[in-house]
Amino acid sequence: AEMLIGQPLFAGRDGVDQLGQIVDILGTPTPREFYLMNPKYDASVSFGVRVSPLPWHRVLQRDVGTEVIEMLSQLLKYDPLLRPQPLACMAAPLF
């Protein structure tokens, strides 16, 4: 994604700002996704208004084709268990 737009996708001033930018694009993670990213996550913490994910064509500001969108959608998931393994990525139709 960063190579397509020529700049960092989630460039934050610090970790908190970067998380905010990730949420702005991927949407608000579920409590389960937060726990999978960080088992010390306190599920009682609420994030108020849920943010919906942005469509990739809007994030990238261009038409990049369905194979690129599919790859980004698979790679950029909060749940690390749902991300494809490196070998599967290299065997993707995109490449």
**pLDDT tens-digit map of 65-78:** 899 999 999 999 99
Q: Residue 57 carries which side chain, given as an amino acid letter?
A: H
Share of the chain above pLDDT 90, in %: 39
Structure tokens at 46: 């609420």
**For the whole model, what pTM was predicted?**
0.80
Average model confidence (pLDDT) for the chain? 88
Residue 39 DSSP symbol: T
Per-residue pLDDT, averaged over 3-27, amounts to 88
Structure tokens at 20: 């905010």
Sign of the alpha-carbon torsion through 7, 12, 17, 23: positive
Q: Is the model's pLDDT at 19 over the cut of 80?
A: yes
pLDDT confidence of residue 13: 92
36-82, pLDDT tens digit by residue? 888 888 877 767 788 999 998 899 888 888 999 999 999 999 998 89
pLDDT of residue 83: 94
